[in-house]
Amino acid sequence: RMEEAIHVRVVGQEEPIKAIAQSIRRAQAGIKNMKRPIGVFMFLGPTGVGKTYLAQALAEFLFGDEDAIITLDMSEYMEKFSVSRLTGAPPGYVGYEEGGELTEKVRRRPYSVVLLDEVEKAHPDVFNILLQIMDNGRLSDNLGHTVDFRNTVLIMTSNLGAEQIVRGSNLGFQAEKEGTLPYEEMKNRVMSELKRSFRPEFLNRLDEVIVFHALNKKEVKKIVDMLLEEKKELLEEKEMNIEITQEARNLIAQERYDP
């Protein structure tokens, strides 16, 4: 089951995992426009809450490989002249024969998760390119190749609304499960900020906006335990042994916890 497979990697975030799993299942059942990517999602939330981990877990579940993920930092495409790098430099420019930084990677690995980090920082012209992918599942590069995005999952991350999410988390997520501030209410608060920053035609083509809540102490402790166990296993493979006391684990968790 998709939710269980993702929870092996991602701590907490019940609502985001449920929402993305349901959307992917609808696509796999054929209840979607087959010309579009498998899914198009916007991940919102503060840094360090599991957005990238969820993308990696999704790549592993859908494509059998956590490395089936193409990541682009969209802050590198803030200027108008940099936008063409996504589909390839024009004739006569350096790098023309190399193809686009987005199109060439997808052409080589058509079954993948495409992760566009901090998409709100991209130049407005980038969104014209994204609309082509979201509408038609295809994009032409500078060499005239048509690249197929229909077998990709397109995930865009943004820190927009992060302060709202943290405030909402402090109100409603101190209990074991998301408590007094419902997920949908917090999502609605953040959506108002999204609508100020993105064009309606872009937002309307998203399959789902996924809001990640800030982590509570219990979740941070669980993440610390998971990461320490991974490190311990790596050391054991090299015939090295390390014991980490509970006091040390608690101290690391306390240092990493950012209420």
Given a cut of 70, is residue 257 above it in pLDDT?
Answer: no
pLDDT recorded at residue 153: 96
First to last CA, the chain: 32
Q: Per-domain residue ranges for the chain?
A: 2-214, 216-259
Beta strand 146-148 with 138-140 is antiparallel
pLDDT recorded at residue 134: 96
pLDDT in tens, 2-50: 888 888 777 778 888 888 999 898 888 877 778 899 999 999 988 878 8
Sequence-separated contacts (24+) of 59-68 with Cβ below 8 Å: 59/112, 59/113, 59/153, 60/5, 60/9, 61/2, 61/5, 61/6, 62/24, 62/38, 62/111, 62/113, 62/153, 63/111, 63/112, 63/113, 68/109, 68/111, 68/112, 68/113
Q: What DSSP state is assigned to residue 253?
A: H
Q: Which two tokens stand for residue 77?
A: 């495409």
Q: Are 97 and 88 in contact (CB under 8 A)?
A: no
**Bigger pLDDT: 214 or 148?**
148
Which string of DSSP letters, residue by residue, matches 46-95? -TTSSHHHHHHHHHHHHHS-TT-EEEEEGGGG-SGGGGGGGT-PPTTSTT
Q: Tell me which residue of 88, 187, 189, 68 sits closest to 140, measured CA to CA.
A: 88
**DSSP helix/strand/coil, 191:** helix
**CATH class of segment(s) 2-214:** alpha beta
pTM of the predicted structure, to 2 decimals: 0.81
Average of pLDDT values for 174-203? 75
Q: Cα torsion for 232, 236, 240, 246, to the nearest 10°?
A: 30
Average of pLDDT values for 213-239? 75
pLDDT in tens, 117-168: 999 999 999 999 999 999 999 999 988 899 999 999 999 999 887 666 666 5
Q: How many CB atoms lie within 10 A of CB 237?
A: 8
Given a cut of 70, is residue 179 above it in pLDDT?
Answer: no
pLDDT in tens, 79-107: 998 999 999 987 777 777 788 999 999 99
Residue 181 binned pLDDT confidence (cut-offs 50, 70, 90): low
Longest Cα pair distance anywhere in the chain, in angstroms? 61
**DSSP helix/strand/coil, 148:** strand
pLDDT recorded at residue 85: 92
**Bigger pLDDT: 182 or 105?**
105
**DSSP helix/strand/coil, 194:** helix
